Amino acid sequence: MTWLSACSAVIFGLNQPMASINQNRYPNLLPNFRNLGVMLRLIVIVFGMTIFGAALKSANWVDMHDQWLSISALAQPMLILSLLLLGLADRWLHRLDYPLAVAVIVAVELGIASLVVIATWSVITPGTPGLVRTGFFTAVATLLVLAYFNLRSRMLSPALTEARLQALQARIRPHFLFNSINAVLSLVRSEPRRAETALEDLADLFRVLMADNRDLVPLEREVELCRQYLGLETLRLGDRLRVQWQVDKMPADALVPPLLLQPLLENAVYHGIEPSMEPGVISIQISSDRDRMQMLLSNPFRETGSHHSGNKMALANIRERLSLHFDAEASLQTRTSDGHYEVRITLPYVREKA
Amino acid sequence: MSKHPQSLRVVITDDEAPARSRIKDLLEDCAGSFPLELAGEAASGRELLALLEETPADVVILDIRMPEMDGLEVAQHMLKLPEPPSVIFTTAYSDHALKAFELHAVDYLLKPIRLRRLHDALTRVRAITPLRFDVLQQITPDARTHLSVQERGKVVLIPVPEILYLRAELKYVTIRTVLREFLLEEPLSKLEQEFGDQFVRIHRSCLVAKAQIAGFEREGGGDGEARWVVTLAGLDEKLPVSRRQQHIVKELGRTVL
């Protein structure tokens, strides 16, 4: 193997050392071209490259400005066309093998480059780069950008990070498990049927908690899990826990990270309901418009002071998973206002691919 | 459950109803092998203290994590009773805090509670050394939410946020609220350690609640020397600041006023 092919193998993962760990041979090394975060990154990178190119070619500041303008005159239309075409072809590209997809993208970029150069031939003043040079730079730039996204996706999702995320996910508060079992035990003699249901719910909950939670799940299933969880908590907290669901307009088929809401509800119970003898309301609102979803969770805010670390950990974990799955398109915000603690999640409305 | 003259009178305290009913079931199972009697149930520390005023008990099965006032604090208030019952704590946690329990031979049961464990705990309950106030204080890291005093055989709870100041007298500490005074048998220095972030020492013998300070005034002393006094919210009383503690006027003056 030559040095070059060794390099390209490392950068583009042509021979996958991780194939035995990852189930699909080529994990998400190709960016999602429809993702806002990816688009923003592309724009910033291309902008940076034009400035860099201008700086290399010019002797002084004034000259650099001119150079930058003439490079941009080519680069900007190319960028816009690329974003458009790659966005349209995104699904199709992701179905290809990674090396083939890379080759296709480079070819597309070369096509766009020649198109733009030919189209602007008459407009641009002499001294602008010719077809061959432009093509060469385009190919190099495309490969660099793809290498960047490849490295980034490896950095974000190697086996180690996933293991850590899963470990965090599994960190359901042990006191919930033991208190629930205790509550179920109290039902065994007096209300055996309720005890049965409760144990089944507990089993479902732990099945999800211990599952491989890398893939997105339908929102419907997450909501069902939350209902089971809250049912168990009602068992022991009785009237103190009141729940308001506003999910009639919820897109049941939307895909969300598993355990997106349950840990937040667990926090709500722990910090908002348990510290008081008075009844408290936890409310869950889920709504969507065409391509975005909003979730709003609210619980009574009770200043207890001492134990907030669990809360922060759950929030950080969910934020991390949201950004892994949706990059800049999802957000999680919290706020406290007149006695209520609110968590607001915004994320794209993604459906199962047909 | 049999009403035997020497039967053990048990009170259950837990904020979760199923947890109480579970212990009740288990007590019924125990009642077969030795005499005991369920003296009552309480859903909070406050309820427990009210219950114990009317109904004497030998042992309280007390949950540690409860709203308002945790079990460890309730146990401290219970010691003000003329004849405090023994305590068996229950908890769903098995964390480091339990090491302290073992160190001081404080009895506890892990939830879910096993019949045999409960049985053993109840059997030896008369033999174990009674809880000590200082031990409980050592075990719990948090400041109490209430102070308590004994009045005519009853335990009176005073919520800490209602306290204006604490003043050391000869043998007692006076607790002052807007409505009245209470006499507490605890050293002021210990109180200062426990409530250091809510109260400030303005004098060798006086701690004032920071939240209750309305302001500071300069007042001419009898010998012509001026001194600082603290004015309070809701009470027309001025508390002198000692020469040594003058610096608190500067420190708090900024945040309070």
pLDDT single digits (tens) A263-320? 899 989 988 998 898 999 999 999 998 889 999 999 998 765 444 556 777 788 888 8
- What confidence tier does B107 reach under pLDDT thresholds 50, 70, 90? confident
Whether residue B95 is predicted with pLDDT greater than 70 in this model: the reply is no
Asked if B111 and A178 come within 8 Å (Cβ–Cβ), the reply is: yes
Asked if A182 and B18 come within 8 Å (Cβ–Cβ), the reply is: yes
Query: B147 φ, ψ to 5°?
Result: -105, 160
Minimum CA–CA partner of B25 in chain A: A186
Tell me the chain A residues in contact with residue B108 when contact means C-beta distances shorter than 8 Å.
Answer: none
Tell me the chain B residues in contact with residue A185 when contact means C-beta distances shorter than 8 Å.
Answer: 22, 112
Rounded to an integer, what distance in angstroms lies between the CA atom of residue B103 and that of residue B138? 11
Asked if A182 and B43 come within 8 Å (Cβ–Cβ), the reply is: no
Q: Where are the alpha helices (DSSP H) in A96-130?
A: 98-120
Rounded to an integer, what distance in angstroms lies between the CA atom of residue B143 and that of residue B193? 9
Instruction: Give the nearest partner residue to B112 out of A185, A187, A237, using CB atoms.
Output: A185
Residue B88: predicted pLDDT: 93
pLDDT, chain B, mean: 88
Tell me the chain A residues in contact with residue B92 when contact means C-beta distances shorter than 8 Å.
Answer: 174-175, 178-179, 182
Q: Do A142 and A109 contact (CB within 8 A), yes or no? A: yes
Tell me the chain A residues in contact with residue B142 when contact means C-beta distances shorter than 8 Å.
Answer: 306
CA angle A294, A300, A303 (to 5 degrees): 125
Minimum CA–CA partner of A279 in chain B: B67
SS3 letters for B23-45? Answer: HHHHHHHHHCCCCEEEEEEECCH
Cα-Cα end-to-end distance for chain B? 61
pLDDT tens digits for range B11-51: 999 999 999 999 999 999 998 888 999 999 999 999 999 99
Q: Is the dihedral of CA B87, B92, B93, B99 positive or negative?
A: positive
Whether residue A10 is predicted with pLDDT greater than 60 in this model: the reply is no
Angle between helix B17-31 and helix A174-190 axes, rounded to 10 deg: 60
Asked if A181 and B112 come within 8 Å (Cβ–Cβ), the reply is: yes
Residue A203: predicted pLDDT: 92
CA angle A29, A33, A38 (to 5 degrees): 80
Weakest-pLDDT range from A56-60, B144-148, B169-173:
A56-60
Under DSSP, is residue A331 helix (H, G, I), strand (E, B) or coil? strand
Asked if A182 and B44 come within 8 Å (Cβ–Cβ), the reply is: no
